[in-house]
Structure 1
Amino acid sequence: MENNFNMVAKTLFGFEDILAKELTQMGAQDVKTGVRSVSFVGDKGFMYKANLGLRTAIKILKPINSFRVKSEKDLYDKLYKMDWQHLLKPSGTLAVDATVHSKLFTHSLYIAQKTKDAIVDKIRDMTGQRPNVDLKFPDLKINVHIDRDFCNISLDTSGDSLHKRGYKTATNIAPINEVLAAGLVMLSGWDGQSDFMDPMCGSGTILIEAAMIACNIPPNLMRKEFAFERWNDWDVDLFEKIEESLLNKTRDFHYKIVGYDKSPSAVAKAKDNVKNAQLEDFIEVKHEDFFKTQKGGDNKLHMVFNPPYGERLDIEMETFYKNIGDTLKQNYPGTDAWFITSNLDALKHVGLRPSRKIHLVNAKLEARLVKYVMYEGSKKAKYND
């Protein structure tokens, strides 16, 4: 279709394949994975849909130009030559975000400044009026990415990072990013066809993302604003049509989602966030110490959690991780338990052999998502059935 254009969805390291799968299932064309990114093709309606519906995307960029650059002056000149007037009114506002991996250019803030200068100079020279910078709520947010001597200029369609879903009013001491939480739940294979538990739920992010996945609720319905809503070609009727079509695909969920935390303040925050997300019908949060609990009933249990790493919380890690292994082994038969950690030494003290290990990066820390399968009865009995 002639109205299609290229887009790039940014993500976290290790989530590229699940984001590509999300895009393919959503109907994107020409989906290709990169590092921390997936490129795809779609129209304006699909751009709206991607921002509303993707769980593992941090940002959706719309590339508008690319070229080689030899110097800061060369960058300025090439940006100046571009047609900015159809994107930004002379009375409008802009913000520039730059990422630089280059020996030629070493300072991303300086590149952002140069970009801003070229755009406002061009519009001022053409119209006599100069757009202003607004870092919080710009009419146009521009992304500059320089890799060695190659420069990509994109429009940021999302604005604030897409992990800011809009349901979180309260967080605890070491909150998990919503995109990370959704990705962990998806990597664990959770399909909403069993009970779900987060035994160290903090402010409830994993529980909320799991419920939205189970019910197929679009993750970004509650966001206050996307960047494209300030564009000259913003189509509110099309956006509402896309929103309605996504809402029509929600589904029923017939199992239980339970969260434990031993901190009363974390439990209160989690309950607040669950209520804000309008998911109280699906999620129950309890004040419990996981190490003193056991699985209720014989139903299959799917568990995903984010235990402390020792980065921000002061805990005796070896004992803590040994207790995780002991509690799973003794009290949680019939459970697939997944958790993420960047404390790779402490992981050795779990005392169980993981059936899977997935390499991820969490807040610049090398991390592993590990899976432990707790069989009903002994493993030997399981294989002899």
Structure 2
Amino acid sequence: MVAKTLFGFEDILAQELRNLGAIDIENGVRSVSFWGDKGFMYKANLCLRTALKIVKPVQSFKVRNEKELYDKMYAIPWENLMSVHETLAVDAVVHSDAFNHSLYVALKTKDAIVDRFRNIRGKRPDVDLKHPDLRISVHIQKDTCTVSLDSSGASLHHRGYRTATNIAPINEVLAAGMLLLSGWNGQSDFLDPMCGSGTIPVEAAMIACNIPANINRKEFAFEKWSDFDADLFEKVTDSSLNKTREFYHKIYAYDKAPSAVRKAKDNIRNANLAEYITLEQEDFFATEKNTEGKLHMVFNPPYGERLSNTDMERFYSSIGDTLKQGYPGTDAWLITSNLEALKYVGLRPSRKIKLFNGRLESKLVKYEMYEGSKKGKWM
């Protein structure tokens, strides 16, 4: 099988797979391949935090033109994978000189499948782009075409708990990956000082308590497959829930906007995590550390698209000043696509990691704020 992910998350996704018990793990570009049985496919969809999709390859073959594509798609015994009474949808990703349009590849694939059914069964299955019984994934890289079954359906970043969002909310998979890259493991107090609709603190709580990432999700595509084993899925779910753990520290979430706090409150409640997250309406720049010991901070400040140059300089300078003056003993991580803005923070980052927030190239940076005499190290 193949787990698809975001750029920069391949290593942490591979580690997640190892922790779950996968074998034959191999990193790709924005993907990790692995071997597992049907039960593991269910567990991967339920538990992986940094996967966007879990696909199950059916066939791989060389293809140089549209006739070869049609003929080889037609030759696949689709009647063994679905019935004529079920619906299908085809998604395609193309990186090839021979094929320029992914929608065209998806259309030719659909034509081959329904023509085979019409010729063999005398009837063709219908297409349902939103809720198909079988979602087919086609990937063409140069002259190699890989056909897979999409076991996830909607992207796995749709966790199911987020019903209220602000402008440009952070992707749940991106939030979870940032947290894992930052080393968050639930062994200290945590703060998101600009929490927006609450995605980062929710993902932080789920990691701290080892709660399956997609436990709140309403459905997975594999539940519509003809070989779906409901009893096995229930056993996998129960086993995963039995591995949750106690969390002995505190998670704090701030936002200065009342509307953001209301949305975050709804999402935290939807995730059944209100007992773990303390949500407050606060302006980060008027706060200071209120916990003993080490504090782990991860946040997603506003990007330059919503700030003028003057505001950006003042805003990011205020981040640095607040960290220096009010947050000793803190590992502070932030993500931004405005690389110019980092200059105004006035702190030297100890780590920089290249990521993408949507299509925007971004940096996840770490600032280590020391206690006592080590404060001088910030410049």
Tell me the TM-score normalised to structure 1 length.
0.96
1:357 corresponds to: 352
What's the secondary structure of 2:176's corresponding residue?
Answer: helix
1:168 touches 1:276 (CA, 8 Å); kept in 2?
yes
1:3 corresponds to: none
Counterpart-to-counterpart distance in 1, 2:33 and 2:40:
13
Q: What letter matches 1:301 in structure 2?
A: L
1:174 touches 1:312 (CA, 8 Å); kept in 2?
no
1:340 corresponds to: 335
The 5 A counterparts of 1:200-239 are: 200-239=194-233
1:373 corresponds to: 368
Gaps of 5+ in 1: 1-6
2:243 corresponds to: 249
Counterpart-to-counterpart distance in 1, 2:246 and 2:337:
35
1:140 maps to 2:134: yes
Counterpart-to-counterpart distance in 2, 1:28 and 1:312:
43
What's the secondary structure of 1:360's corresponding residue?
Answer: strand
Q: What letter matches 1:358 in structure 2?
A: I
Counterpart-to-counterpart distance in 1, 2:46 and 2:349:
35
Q: CA deviation at 1:379?
A: 1.4
Q: What letter matches 2:106 in structure 1?
A: A
Q: How many residues align?
A: 376
Q: CA deviation at 1:311?
A: 2.7
1:298 maps to 2:292: yes
What's the secondary structure of 1:349's corresponding residue?
Answer: helix
1:325 corresponds to: 320
Counterpart-to-counterpart distance in 1, 2:375 and 2:178:
29
CA offsets 1:95-152 (integer angstroms, 9 cap, x no match): 0000001111001101000000000110111001110100011010000001111100
1:32 touches 1:38 (CA, 8 Å); kept in 2?
yes
What's the secondary structure of 2:79's corresponding residue?
Answer: coil
1:66 touches 1:151 (CA, 8 Å); kept in 2?
yes
Counterpart-to-counterpart distance in 2, 1:277 and 1:190:
19
Counterpart-to-counterpart distance in 2, 1:120 and 1:190:
48
2:274 corresponds to: 280
What's the secondary structure of 1:344's corresponding residue?
Answer: coil
1:260 maps to 2:254: yes
1:158 touches 1:227 (CA, 8 Å); kept in 2?
yes
RMSD of aligned residue pairs (Cα, Å): 1.2
The 5 A counterparts of 1:3-82 are: 7-82=1-76
Q: CA deviation at 1:220?
A: 0.5
Counterpart-to-counterpart distance in 2, 1:155 and 1:348:
46
1:304 touches 1:339 (CA, 8 Å); kept in 2?
yes
Counterpart-to-counterpart distance in 1, 2:131 and 2:306:
32
What's the secondary structure of 2:322's corresponding residue?
Answer: helix
CA offsets 1:153-181 (integer angstroms, 9 cap, x no match): 00000000000000011001120000000
2:155 corresponds to: 161
1:196 touches 1:257 (CA, 8 Å); kept in 2?
yes
Q: CA deviation at 1:200?
A: 0.2
What's the secondary structure of 1:114's corresponding residue?
Answer: helix
Counterpart-to-counterpart distance in 2, 1:194 and 1:34:
33
Gap change, CA 1:105 and 1:192, over 3 Å in 2: same
1:112 maps to 2:111: no
Counterpart-to-counterpart distance in 2, 1:81 and 1:194:
56
Q: CA deviation at 1:299?
A: 2.2
2:177 corresponds to: 183
